[in-house]
Amino acid sequence: MLLAKRLSLYVVMGLLICLTVSRAGAQQPKVTPAWPENLPVYDHIVIVLEENKDYEQIVNSARTPYISKTLCAEGASLTKMYGEEHRSEGNYFWLISGSNQNIGFRDELPSKSNPKDYPFMGPNLFEQLLKKGLSCKGYSEDLPAIGDPVEKVGYYARKHVPWVSFGNIPNGKTVEDSSHLRFSDFPKDFSKLPTMSFVIPNLIDDMHNGHTAVSVPAGDAWLKTNLDAYYQWAKTHNSLLIITFDEDNNGGPGETDPADARGITKQNRIPTIIAGAHITHGDYEEGRGVTHVNLLRTFEAMYKLNRCGKQQANALKAGMTDDYIITDIFEPVR
């Protein structure tokens, strides 16, 4: 009898200890969000940033045979994807840092528009990947030299290259120690690509300048010529190709609002196509929609990174939460 009582007492004490530990644990703040476990973790992701086109000008357009008949036909198209602002430059910063870094809306270099904050030292996708032992580099067409901080030369424009403006992103003079590379440095052996790569076509090949009837087919042909070999390889090598845009076709400077009914340029709806391994083909609305920040959140979730920045204020009001991660386009992880 005495033994039974002692055993009962030990059981009760054990339960109390477990409850105490559980409650204490519940009170601990989360260092990082609880990311979904059903996301694929890609060996390589290549993101191409195009310029200033509406969704309808690109997706299922006769002017984009490669994008529409290959990438859209095999990949996932986000039908309610929005940029954060007009003009171009801020959207590039939103994509890699969840913030426009207060650079203003004039497409000025940060060194001119924000001398007090420059170079930026806040969290961003590049430095977060590096902290994880992974890698991230940008490949810019017509960049004259590796690591060159020049503002504009020929058809190269630094306003489309946000990583140069961060002091915590390496920018040396060689392929090995710089994140700011020429597109000619893009590896022919795709297995040697960084974990994540950003490809920036020049001002002719990014679909922005000139008449749409000329610039869009030319940009589409550039993609096929320069990146289809990677895409075909990616499908069987756990890798991904993403084509997205900074902003839609036009609109006055300032932050945009996805819920604004006054016109499409106020909403800033942009094409985004994700194609490669483990992708389920189709058109995806993603609830109320998504922004560059939600694309960033998805990358952070894949690689278990800390969050950078926050969702744009108007997107939050429109129901696009800072927590939303794109998951439905991916095949179930086995």
Q: In this model, does residue 302 exceed pLDDT 80? A: yes
Q: In this model, does residue 25 exceed pLDDT 80? A: no
| pLDDT of res. 2 | 37
Mean pLDDT, residues 303-311 taken together: 97
CA separation (Å) from 119 to 97, 109, 114, 116, 168?
A: 14, 11, 9, 9, 9
Cα–Cα distance, 113 to 106 (Å, whole number): 9
263-288, pLDDT tens digit by residue? 767 899 999 999 999 999 999 999 99
| pLDDT of res. 117 | 87
pLDDT averaged over the chain?
A: 90
Mean pLDDT, residues 133-152 taken together: 98
Cα–Cα distance, 153 to 166 (Å, whole number): 21
245-267, pLDDT tens digit by residue? 999 997 789 999 999 977 767 89
Cα–Cα distance, 250 to 13 (Å, whole number): 68
Q: In this model, does residue 23 exceed pLDDT 70? A: no
pTM to 2 decimals? 0.89
| pLDDT of res. 6 | 42
Q: Which of 328, 245, 271, 206 is nearest to 72 (CA)?
A: 271
Contact 90, 291 (CB under 8 A): no
51-60, pLDDT tens digit by residue? 999 999 999 9
Cα–Cα distance, 97 to 165 (Å, whole number): 12
